[in-house]
A and B are shown apart, each in its own frame.
Chain A
C-alpha cells in the first residue's frame, strides 16, 4: 500500500478525474457547511467579530499537515513524491497582497465564490465572472509581466528547509501557533462582538 497512490500508478489519468470530482464534492461540502458560501461571514474575519475563516483554514491546514507528516513518518506515504509548487517569492508576495485586496473588496475567494454561486448568491456569480475577467487580463498582459512573474524562484522550498529546522519541529510550532491563535480568536471575537442588540 504505497501512497500517493496515483504516483505509484495505482490508477490512470482518467480514473483520477473521477477521484477529482469526488474530492471536490467533499471540498465544496465542507466549505458550505462552514458558512463560506456567504460573503458576509467570510468578511467578518476582517472586522474581527467572526474569525471562522481563520479557524477553519488553520484547522484544515493542521489536520492535513499532521496527516501527511505521520503517514510519511510511518513510511506509508512517500513525501518526496508529493507535489510541491515551486516558490516564486516576489510574485507570491505581491499576488497575496492583491488577493487580499480582492478578498475584502469582492467578499470571496475563487473556491468560496463557486460555493456561493451554486447556492444562489448573485454576488458570488458576479465574482466568478470577475475572476474570469481578471485571469483574462493577466493572460493578455503576460508578456509584460513575464519578467516579474518568473522572479524570486527559490525552487521547491519548505519552511523547514528555509529556516534550517527539523521538519517535525516546524510541525510542532505550526500546531502551537494555530492552537494559540484559536484561543486568541475567541478572545478577539468577544472583544469586537457587535452590540448585544444585533445578536
Chain B
C-alpha cells in the first residue's frame, strides 16, 4: 500500500529542504570558538596550582612515569639541539590540532616562561583541565637540574642532600657546578648532547614499563 507512505515521504522531503535552506546561512564551526571564565582563570593563576617544578619533572622522568605529556613549544631547530627527555615538539600554533586529550596531564615548557604561559592560556580556554606550566622553563631545567649549584660552605648534611641532586644532574648528562663558577654567571653552560640517540630516559630501570606517553599510540583502527 504505497499511498500512506507518499504523504509521509513528502513531509520528510519538505522538512529536509527547509532545514537545508536555513542551513545556508549557518556556520558550523561556532562550537570551536572559546569562552573564557576570566574569574576562574585569574584564581588559578594566582594560586599557582598549575605549575610543575623542574625537580618534580626530573623525578617523573626518572621514575618512568607515563601519565603525562611533555610539550616543547620551541622551534624544531632548538628542539633538535636539545630537549628535555620525553618531550614532544609542538609549536604553539599547532597545539590545538595536535590531538592532546582533555583527560591528559600536559606539561608545557619553552625557553623561559612566556610561551608556555601563553600556550597554557590557550589550552585552558579550550577547556583542557590538565594543562601545566614547567615553572622556569628550560632555563630552570638547565640551572637547577642539569647544572645545579653546589652549596658553597656545605655542612655534611647539605652535602648529602646535594649528592642526590648531583646524581640526577649526571643522569641527565649534566653535572654540578661549584658556587664560585655559578656566581660568575653569564657563562653559557654547554648543553649535553641531544638525548635521543644513545640516551633513552629510564624506562628501563624503572618499571621496564610500557611505551612513553606520547608514544601511547593511537592504534590504527581503520573504518
The judgment on whether A and B are partners is yes
Give the docked Cα–Cα distance between A73 and B194 (Å): 47
The SS class assigned to the A binding surface is: helix
- Would you call A175 an interface residue if the criterion is a C-beta within 8 Å of the partner chain's C-beta atoms? yes
- Would you call A75 an interface residue if the criterion is a C-beta within 8 Å of the partner chain's C-beta atoms? yes
A174 to chain B minimum Cβ distance, whole angstroms, is 8
- Would you call B98 an interface residue if the criterion is a C-beta within 8 Å of the partner chain's C-beta atoms? no
Of the stretches A27-35, A124-132, A145-153, A161-169, the one at the interface is: A161-169
Known: A66-B23, A166-B24. A79 touches B16 (CB 8 A): no
Of the stretches B25-33, B39-47, B132-140, the one at the interface is: B25-33
Q: Which of A2, A62, A168, A183 contacts B28 (CB 8 A)?
A: A168
In the complex, chain A residues whose CB is within 8 Å of the CB of B93: none
- Would you call A123 an interface residue if the criterion is a C-beta within 8 Å of the partner chain's C-beta atoms? no
Give the docked Cα–Cα distance between A187 and B220 (Å): 43
In the complex, chain A residues whose CB is within 8 Å of the CB of B13: 179, 182-183
Give the docked Cα–Cα distance between A9 and B99 (Å): 13
Q: Determine the residue in chain B with the shortest Cβ distance to A71.
A: B31
In the complex, chain A residues whose CB is within 8 Å of the CB of B96: 80
Other than the known A73-B28, A168-B24, A171-B20, what 9 A-B pairs have Cβ atoms closer than 8 Å?
A9-B102, A69-B23, A69-B28, A72-B30, A80-B97, A85-B223, A168-B26, A172-B23, A178-B16
Interface residues of A (CB under 8 A from B): 2, 7-9, 12, 59, 62, 66, 68-81, 85, 166-169, 171-172, 174-176, 178-179, 182-183
Listed by A's residue number, 20 A-B pairs whose Cβ atoms lie within 8 Å are A66-B23, A68-B28, A69-B23, A70-B23, A72-B31, A73-B26, A75-B33, A76-B31, A78-B31, A79-B28, A79-B29, A80-B96, A168-B23, A168-B26, A169-B24, A171-B26, A172-B21, A175-B20, A176-B20, A182-B13
